[in-house]
Amino acid sequence: MLCQECQKRVATVHLTRIINGEYTEQHLCEQCAKNKGEFDFSHNPFSLQSLLTGLMNVDSQTLMGFTPKKLQCNNCGLTYAQFGQIGRFGCSECYQAFGERLVPILRRIHGSTQHVGSEPRRAGGAVKLRRNIEELKQQLQRLVEEEKFEQAAVVRDQIKKLESRATDGGKKDV
């Protein structure tokens, strides 16, 4: 959702106010909320917008010369630059199109880069699950060799979770 005030940045501050007896919902970006002095109660640990732009700047510097002119999703037409501006994907294929660039962004937002929850039955579980576990094990080994123990611990926990799911047959266990 875009900020109602500037229509540019992603709204991360959501307020329900009562003005003249009317409930109104306000959706503002962090900056506009600050400008309006309405930031005292929202405990947003990060601003998605500044996070995205921050990461993308780093990205474009380090990858200069390697980056194709226009990284774009063929399915919906959204460019990576637009994604950075609005903080939203255009369709499910964008995830594939933007590929590895999403890794640092999603890690910053969620502290993880591997889904461990339920999956649709038709995604057809068990085989893929094992492949995922294998990949993570290799990643774990690399991290240990590089002495990145904190990250390694996270990956190790993910492997545990996936392994317990593999023994459940990959089904929802609620």
* Min CB(86)–another protein separation in Å: 9
Contacted by 161, from Zn ion, another protein, none: CB < 5 to 8 Å by type: another protein
Helix (H) or strand (E) holding 130: helix 126-145
- Residue placing its CB nearer to another protein in the complex, 14 or 67: 14
For residue 100, state whether it binds another protein (rule: CB under 8 A). no
Q: Which residues pair with 23 in a beta bridge?
A: 18
- In the DSSP assignment, the letter for residue 15 is E
- Residue placing its CB nearer to another protein in the complex, 60 or 139: 139
Nearest to 9 by CA among 54, 53, 49: 49
3-class DSSP state for residue 78?
Answer: coil
- Residue placing its CB nearer to Zn ion in the complex, 72 or 132: 72
Nearest to 57 by CA among 84, 31, 79, 78: 84
For residue 58, state whether it binds Zn ion (rule: CB under 5 A). no
Interface with Zn ion (CB under 5 A), residue from 91, 103, 106, 153: 91
Contacted by 158, from Zn ion, another protein, none: CB < 5 to 8 Å by type: another protein
- According to DSSP H, which parts of 78-125 are helical? 80-86, 94-98, 102-110
3-class DSSP state for residue 50?
Answer: helix
Contacted by 3, from Zn ion, another protein, none: CB < 5 to 8 Å by type: Zn ion
Q: Which residues bind Zn ion (CB under 5 A)?
A: 3, 5-6, 9, 29, 32, 73, 75-76, 78, 90-91, 93-94
